[in-house]
Amino acid sequence: MEKKYDVIHIGESNLDITVPEVPDEFFTEDASTFGCGLITDGCGGDAANQALCVASLGDHNALFGRLDNGMTGERIYSLMKERGVDTSLIIRDDNCQTRRIIVNVRKDGSHKFLVGKGVNYGLHQEDIVPGTLDQTKILALGSLFAMDTLDTEHSVSYALKFCKDAGGQIVADMTGDVHGLGPKFYEDLYEQIDYLVPSWDEGFYVTGLRKEEEMADYFLERGVGHVIIKLGDQGSFFKSAKERFYTDPYVVEPVDTTGCGDNFTAGFIHAYLKGLPMKECVQFASATGALNSLGLGANSYVRSEEMVLDFMRKTPVRKILR
Ligand SMILES: Nc1ncnc2c1ncn2[C@@H]1O[C@H](COP(=O)(O)OP(=O)(O)OP(=O)(O)O)[C@@H](O)[C@H]1O
Ligand SMILES: [Mg+2]
């Protein structure tokens, strides 16, 4: 049966309020008022970043989550709509307060997040009904360790099964375990995941293993179909039962690497939907991640498939000796 969506994204979506050029004195001096650069707002969170990038690359995707009925929810909702993400699955809820994050950027470019509290902003098992996760070719998790109520209610597995029973595929990104779920929290979930895309740090946290090959084996032994470990400026490592390979990084001078991992995952999903061979999918992902580093923010620089292809034609790859 033809699916309604190419991709549905579940996980984190928040409002990022970015405060640039925060003076060093703000952190040290006892005055009450300081000046800074131009304050802007935009979407943030792994699921939102991935959704915006996948939409820019041209696939029909939807964000499935809960947003408040006030200005914060409205802002995210309208930004998603403007950028071509299908908003028909978004639940607007009077009892919810969407989380806001203040990103303080110092003059040297380093940043410190202030993560505000949110209220009732997660998905619940009852939200997963026919017409949602059974209607997508790919369910993208952005990310494991940040599934909020689906984590605390132990319903992530239910969501994955709902999608897979209808013939969908699961792509799962990972993030830091800020809620203290523990490294073994998803041991029983891995067998449902077709493509797992952790960074080296996240893979190390879960497995306790330092070599990417051993890390990948850990997940493969527990039933993951394919593992891609993101290695930052060192590229990435892919392993499945059939093949293993490294992908060398593109040569870039990054302006801001926030969200490179989310853009990498989005690029992978797009190339996979086109039916490209696995090596080409990871190459396209690598280019999408690297391209994102050339602009400020986690979801505003990559705007089309052609932009990524053009970057691939013009940018050399740095050979890493492994
Ligand atoms: N400095 C860089 N040079 C070249 N490629 C990069 C660079 N940084 C990131 N990339 C590409 O983007 C991919 C993802 O980046 P990274 O490993 O930093 O992900 P991440 O830790 O999940 O990031 P985040 O969670 O902040 O989005 C890398 O595997 C690589 O292909
Ligand atoms: Mg990441």
249 lines ligand 1 (CB under 6 A): yes
Distance 35 CA to ligand 2 centre (A): 32
- Ligand with smallest separation from the Cα of 11: 2
> Could you read off the pLDDT of 200-247 as tens digits, one per residue?
999 999 999 999 999 999 999 999 999 999 999 999 999 999 999 999
pLDDT in tens, 172-188: 999 999 999 999 999 99
Nearest protein CA to atom 19 of ligand 1, as residue: 261
Please list, residue by residue across 203-236, b when 16 or more beta carbons sit within 10 angstroms of its beta carbon and e when fewer do: bbbbbeeeebeebbbbbbebebbbbbbbbeebbb
Report the C-alpha gap between 41 and 38 in whole angstroms: 10
Work out the average pLDDT over 121-125.
Answer: 97
Question: Given this model, what pLDDT does residue 257 score?
Answer: 86
Q: Is the CB of 230 under 6 A from ligand 1?
A: yes
Residue 289 Cβ inside 6 Å of ligand 1? The answer reads yes
The answer to whether residue 109 scores a pLDDT higher than 80 is: no
247 Cα nearest atom in ligand 1 = 31
Residue 238 Cβ inside 6 Å of ligand 1? The answer reads: no
Calculate the average pLDDT of the chain.
Answer: 96
Q: What is the mean pLDDT of residues 251-255?
A: 92
Each residue's pLDDT tens digit, 275-301: 999 999 999 999 999 999 998 889 999
pLDDT score at 182? 98
CA of 74 to the centre of ligand 2 (A): 26
How buried is 311 (Cβ within 10 angstroms: 0-12 exposed, 13-18 middle, 19+ buried)? middle
Rounded to 10 deg, the angle between the 278-292 and 305-314 helix axes is 90
- Pick from 314, 262, 305: nearest CA to 284: 305
CA-closest residue to ligand 1 atom 12: 289
Span 160-174, average pLDDT: 98
In order, the DSSP letters of 170-220 are EEEEE---TT---TTTTTTTGGG-SEEE-BHHHHHHHH---SHHHHHHHHH
Percent of the chain with pLDDT over 70: 100
Distances (CA, A) of 224 to 37, 114, 130, 186, 272: 45, 34, 26, 11, 17
Spacing, Cα 258 to ligand 1 middle (Å): 8
Taking a C-beta distance cutoff of 8 angstroms, is the pair 129, 158 a contact? no
Separation CA 143–CA 179 (nearest Å): 13
What pLDDT band is residue 111 in, cutting at 50, 70 and 90? confident
Mean pLDDT of 74-83: 98
263 CA closest ligand 1 atom index: 27
Question: Which ligand places an atom closest to the C-alpha of 284?
Answer: 1
| Domains detected in the chain | 5-12+45-97+120-314 (3.40.1190.20)
Kindly list the distances between the CA atom of residue 5 and the CA atoms of 45, 79, 85, 217, in Å, as whole numbers in the listed order.
21, 19, 11, 32
CA–CA dist 19, 36 (Å, integer) = 7
131 CA from centroid of ligand 1 (Å): 34
Ligand nearest to the CA of 318: 1
The confidence score (pLDDT) of residue 255 equals 84
Residues with Cβ < 8 Å from 264, sequence gap 6 or more? Answer: 197, 230, 236, 285, 286, 288, 289
